[in-house]
Structure 1
Amino acid sequence: MDMKYDDKYHLHLGYYENNCDYESIAYKRLSEDVWDVFFDNEQYGLEKTIEVKELSLEGIGTRIFSISGNDLTYETGVKRFEKWLAMQKII
């Protein structure tokens, strides 16, 4: 089953501390109250640490995690993104 997203509901999440500049993008699923967050390792010259079978969107990146809820605040998204970057030893 293909995942469908509403392009009107997306959020850019960035980490800009310690001379870093990493961005991900979150898309809201049409079918449920879930936001999928995507990151493009290749854009930053980073080795992929995500499973090959994980969902990827051309030009956007690979899904790195999902957040449940109808609304996603920038603060919540950025905290989760920063945690993911740290877990992957990117920061």
Structure 2
Amino acid sequence: MNFEPNHHLHIGYYDNGFDLEATAYKTVGHSEWVIFLNSDQDLTDLNDALYCYKEIDKLGYKIFTVNTDDLSYEYGLEKFTEWLKSLNLI
């Protein structure tokens, strides 16, 4: 995966007792952003849910992608929240 060097977005979810951060990276030459759950944070409550996701060194767990040219914080947070709900975490 190749990412645009100056296109990334930090997305934080701080409700329901969670303090989680994900980072979105724009792929080179595609209208796609790849979202990673940072693995350098406390993920104890997510351990059971993360077994099927690939952890990539220095990026974290690759949790989903968003097909768009420009990713806003609001839309990224909406998708991150949907991901948490899909795992019945919230």
The RMSD of aligned alpha carbons is 1.9
Which of 13, 23, 26 pairs up with 2:11? 13
Q: Secondary structure at the match of 1:81?
A: helix
Kindly indicate whether the alpha-carbon contact (under 8 Å) linking 1:38 and 1:62 is maintained by their aligned counterparts in 2.
yes
Alpha-carbon offset, residue 64 of structure 1 = 0.9
Q: 1:9 to 1:50 in 2, by over 3 A?
A: farther
Q: Secondary structure at the match of 1:26?
A: strand
Q: Identity over the aligned pairs, expressed in percent?
A: 33
Aligned partners of 2:51 and 2:25: how far apart in 1?
18
Unaligned runs of 5+ in 1: none
Deviations 1:4-41 (A, max 9, x none): 00131000111111332111100000121100011145
Aligned to 1:82: 81
Aligned to 1:58: 57
Q: 1:89 to 1:11 in 2, by over 3 A?
A: same
Kindly indicate whether the alpha-carbon contact (under 8 Å) linking 1:38 and 1:65 is maintained by their aligned counterparts in 2.
yes
Give the TM-score, by structure 2 length.
0.81
Aligned partners of 2:4 and 2:18: how far apart in 1?
29
Q: 1:85 to 1:19 in 2, by over 3 A?
A: same
Q: Which amino acid aligns with 2:19?
A: D
Aligned partners of 2:77 and 2:3: how far apart in 1?
20
Q: Which amino acid aligns with 2:33?
A: W
Alpha-carbon offset, residue 62 of structure 1 = 1.8
Q: Secondary structure at the match of 2:76?
A: helix
